[in-house]
Chain A
Amino acid sequence: AQKVTQAQTEISVVEKEDVTLDCVYETRDTTYYLFWYKQPPSGELVFLIRRNSFDEQNEISGRYSWNFQKSTSSFNFTITASQVVDSAVYFCALSLNSGYSTLTFGKGTMLLVSP
């Protein structure tokens, strides 16, 4: 069975600080997909990124960047120069290449960015 661990329950930073959210996953499959979602107080899940297990290139999108390391089974998410609007719960998730595409989520990390 697969598992996603987000050890950081809550992180508080001051605006403009950089922050990294950790994600460690477990699976015996060699083909899988990793995700990050943002959940603001409204509750709706906002998709941020998907990576497949064969693509270990780091990705940058504006202030967001992702570091995927298969050797340590980690898929960490960094927000550079954080803003108050980044305050939300962030979820890391895993999906196998089974055709069903169901997601296994971590417990989430609540990020609080204060002005």
Chain B
Amino acid sequence: DAGVTQSPTHLIKTRGQQVTLRCSPKSGHDTVSWYQQALGQGPQFIFQYYEEEERQRGNFPDRFSGHQFPNYSSELNVNALLLGDSALYLCASSYTGTSGYNEQFFGPGTRLTVL
């Protein structure tokens, strides 16, 4: 059973460009969350997708957008890249249960460098 997968592993872009990162959730999971981890910082929640809709969002500008497909995989798009967008982007998948905590499974991340 494959865990959470992310692509690409590494990416280099220049300021002003746009980037798309991809995440495939663990089998049986229907929810995908994205986190940004800047160097020397803890991961910060960007947004969460469930039933193909964004249902929760952290404190990130509209340049960050996403999508969830019918097969539950997800994309994170960042427009007009800034140097400060350089970070490790982590995807976490889970199954939205009826109550309590829905365990998050993290992928290996995509390291984005903006030059």
Residues of A within 8 A of B (CB): 4, 6, 33, 42-45, 47, 50, 52, 91, 93, 95, 97, 99-108
| Chain B residues, CB < 8 A from A43 | 88, 108-109, 111
| Size range of the chain B interface in the assembly | 20 to 34
| Chain A residues, CB < 8 A from B88 | 43
Shortest Cβ-Cβ A-B pairs, 8 listed = A105-B42, A101-B102, A45-B106, A44-B108, A33-B101, A102-B45, A100-B56, A107-B42
Q: Total A-B pairs in contact (CB under 8 Å)?
A: 58
Pick from B42, B56, B100, B106: contact of A102, CB under 8 Å: B56
| Chain B residues, CB < 8 A from A6 | 42
Report 10 cross-chain contacts, Cβ distance below 8 Å, ordered by A residue: A4-B42, A33-B101, A43-B108, A43-B109, A47-B106, A100-B48, A100-B56, A105-B42, A107-B42, A108-B40
Closest chain B residue to A42, Cβ basis: B108
| Chain B residues, CB < 8 A from A99 | 96, 99, 102
Residues of B within 8 A of A (CB): 33, 35, 40-45, 48, 55-56, 58, 88, 90, 92, 94, 96, 99-104, 106-109, 111
Distance to closest chain A CB from B81 (angstroms): 20
Pick from B41, B55, B104, B109: contact of A103, CB under 8 Å: B104
Distance to closest chain B CB from A93 (angstroms): 8
